[in-house]
Amino acid sequence: MSKKPNRKSIQPIPGKVNTEGNSSLLKSNSNIPSFFLNSRLQGIVIFLFAFLLYANTLGHQWAQDDTVVITDNMLTQKGLAGIPQIFTKDTFFGYFKIEGKASVVAGGRYRPLTVAMFAIIYQLFGKNPFPFHMLTVLLFAFLCFLLYRTLFLLLRNYRDPGYGQVISFSSALLFAALPEHTEVVANVKGCDEIVTLLFSLGALYLCLKAIDTGKFFFSILAGLSLFLGLLAKENAVTFLLIIPLALIFFRKTNFDQTVKTIAPLVAAFIAFFVMRMAVLPEFLSKPPMELLNNPFIKYVDGHWVNFTAGEKYATIFYTLGQYIKLLFFPITLTHDYYPRHIGIMEWSDPAVLVSLLAYILLGVYVLWSFMKGKRDLIVFGILFFLITLSIVSNLVFAIGTNMGERFLFMPSIGFCLVISVLLVKLMESSQKVDFRKIATPSAALGIILILFSAKTIMRNPVWHDNKTLAFTDVLTSANSAKVQSFCGGLCTEDALSEKDPAKKTELFKQSVQYNTRAIEIHPTHKSALLNRGVSYYYLGQYDEAISDLRKVRDIAFDDRKGKINLSLALTGKAKYFEEQQQDLNAALPLLNEAIETDSTNQEAIWHMGIVKAKLGQYAEAISWLKKFTEIRPDDPASWEGLEWAYSLNGETAKAAECKSKADALRLNQKTN
């Protein structure tokens, strides 16, 4: 029989204060304003502040990857009935609708929790964006509240009374206001980031409760919380390091205590990993040779090749430097950091060296602090930033793009902690917080919050819908093939539905401009080539259209849309030779290729019959025009064409039959 565990090893730390902030210890310090004695009020302020910052997103429509997880996802649209498949398929399966297509992203994506959540909302409210946006904003507001409560609990015994309260409150406010978070909160798909961090922080909070109360039950709940976070997004795995660090820094737990507390977390990760591998066995598949899913390739002599090691890691460290810059100066924001918004960098670039130096200094500071026995909040904040950033840095795993503002969502907590500590240092007196000096740091925090909040509120409307987002951010991400192509595609869509001929032509010309820029950056960009080819076709530039659409066929031979449009472009060029140049021999091979490309092209079949008749090849003309009547039996013009061919061939009786059918159809049309 096993020995009963020693409860003393996990006893609460002596001298703890009331977690509601009403302890006699705090009250005895007359320097502390009453506001900091009321954690409930602080929590409410943080929740309302976060909610109001994003209240202007509640009327937004769908944007970006909302199509992937909601509006064009067949599993989400099944509602509750789709949930079993959501948990047994790649996250992109419901969008692509066929097996294997999701592998375009290295390693696949297994993030079923938020997609299942969307399915439930879809079941209740249908394709209405308002409840989705309301949920996203409410979850973010609650996340900010939980961040405050977790930090409040984490720092409850740290240094002197009042220190933890100020740090917790200011950190949560800063986190709520950071403009980089607009990509996560203003876009419904960003719920995966929110839910992941929500359950990850929940795991930390529950582990702290386990240590403070000596109840292992809280550790089990922490494991469940982390498991749910992993099901939302894999980034939650970084808390397997964050939580032990927090316990060592702020609870000074020994090895046995730490292992016992985090054991359920490790079990949760193993369970998730097994579950993920059952669905996506290719965990570390090789990144595809497609620029929009692998930014570390370049086009050389008509082929895509990998970056050199120097180019790859110089580009990665340059990007890491941009993350730090963005935290301090969130002035120019964009949803699109795809190639080549960030170019191919070299180690000779000063910006790369500055970035590398910054991270070296952060690492040196952490090592120096450990050597000196310092385990303060600045060190913890830096480690929090580095650990949570590592998984999206491209140093550990290929993430499919250079960077993204959403990737700062979790690491920014470390930044907020460090800034809060630096502000509180302005209040320190003899190593204690002197609230009589609160004016200066409060003013500094207030200015930061006003600037960040203003930027956030002004940035939110950009995420209203795809069109607003694309045509705003293309000005910033002018070197991104993705957003250039996106804008070109939107212009093509608008042109196809436009009734005014002048506006229609102008939209097609704009599409050509955007897609040309995309192709300059990404020479084999299928969507850009397709949309430019379609635009050229409607502008009557058939040679250019055929050239682009043949490239689409070469890139993806089975692309049905590409084949249809190539066939139309070939037919358009054939009609030009037939009708304007009277060059039937030039038209014939184009029509042959058009029909070979798309055997259902009715216009090509019709003109093949006409051209054959004009060339005196009447038997073949009759064959083609007869095929046309089979396709369009209720069209009197089809029978009139066949009548004409029979007449040319001297088959008067059959011509008369065709004329009779055509006349009957026309009479029927007039009668109806």
Mean pLDDT, residues 269-273: 97
Using a pLDDT cut of 70, give the percent of the chain over it: 93
- Quote the CA–CA distance of 138 and 386 in Å, as a whole number: 28
Bridge partners of 433? 428
Q: What pLDDT does residue 432 have?
A: 76
- Quote the CA–CA distance of 21 and 95 in Å, as a whole number: 48
Confidence of residue 36 (pLDDT cuts 50, 70, 90): confident
pLDDT at residue 341 tops 80: yes
Confidence of residue 157 (pLDDT cuts 50, 70, 90): confident
pLDDT at residue 16 tops 90: no
pTM of the model: 0.90
Bridge partners of 300? 303
Residue among 197, 168, 220 nearest 19 (CA):
168
Taking only the tens place, the pLDDT of each residue in 389-447 is: 999 999 988 899 999 999 999 999 999 999 999 999 888 766 677 777 888 899 999 99
Q: What pLDDT does residue 625 have?
A: 96
Residue among 164, 36, 160 nearest 431 (CA):
160
Output b/e per residue, 202-241; b: 16+ Cβ within 10 A.
bbbbbbbbbbbeeeeebbbbbbbbbbbbbbbbbbbbbbbb
Q: Do the Cβ atoms of 146 and 427 come closer than 8 Å?
A: no
Taking only the tens place, the pLDDT of each residue in 647-656 is: 999 999 999 9
Q: What pLDDT does residue 343 have?
A: 96
Residue 135: CB atoms within 10 Å: 17
Confidence of residue 21 (pLDDT cuts 50, 70, 90): very low
Confidence of residue 12 (pLDDT cuts 50, 70, 90): very low
Taking only the tens place, the pLDDT of each residue in 348-379 is: 999 999 999 999 999 999 999 999 888 889 99
Q: What pLDDT does residue 6 have?
A: 42
Tokens of 48: 């309302």
DSSP assignments along 1-57, one per residue: -PPPP-GGGGPPPTTPPPTTS--HHHHT-TTS-GGGG-HHHHHHHHHHHHHHHTGGG
The region of weakest confidence among 11-25, 47-61, 69-83 is 11-25
Reduced to 3 states, what is the DSSP secondary structure of residue 432? strand
Q: What pLDDT does residue 99 have?
A: 67
Taking only the tens place, the pLDDT of each residue in 630-648 is: 999 999 999 999 999 999 9
Residues 6+ apart with CB under 8 A from 430: none
Mean pLDDT, residues 597-602: 95
Q: Do the Cβ atoms of 411 and 280 come closer than 8 Å?
A: no
Tokens of 408: 């700062």
Q: Which helix (H) or strand (E) holds 428?
A: strand 428-429
Question: What's the gap between Cα 311 and its chain centre?
Answer: 25
- Quote the CA–CA distance of 270 and 278 in Å, as a whole number: 12
Q: What pLDDT does residue 11 have?
A: 40
Q: What pLDDT does residue 2 have?
A: 41
The region of weakest confidence among 33-42, 242-251, 471-480 is 33-42
pLDDT at residue 387 tops 90: yes
Q: What pLDDT does residue 280 have?
A: 87
Mean pLDDT, residues 456-466: 98
Mean pLDDT, residues 123-142: 98
Question: What's the gap between Cα 569 and its chain centre?
Answer: 34
Mean pLDDT, residues 36-60: 95
Q: What pLDDT does residue 22 have?
A: 42
Domain positions in the chain:
42-458
Mean residue pLDDT of the chain comes to 92
Tokens of 64: 């970006």
pLDDT at residue 333 tops 80: yes
Taking only the tens place, the pLDDT of each residue in 179-233 is: 999 999 999 999 999 999 999 999 999 999 999 999 999 999 999 999 999 999 9
Q: What pLDDT does residue 105 have?
A: 62
pLDDT at residue 4 tops 50: no
Taking only the tens place, the pLDDT of each residue in 423-439 is: 998 887 666 777 778 88
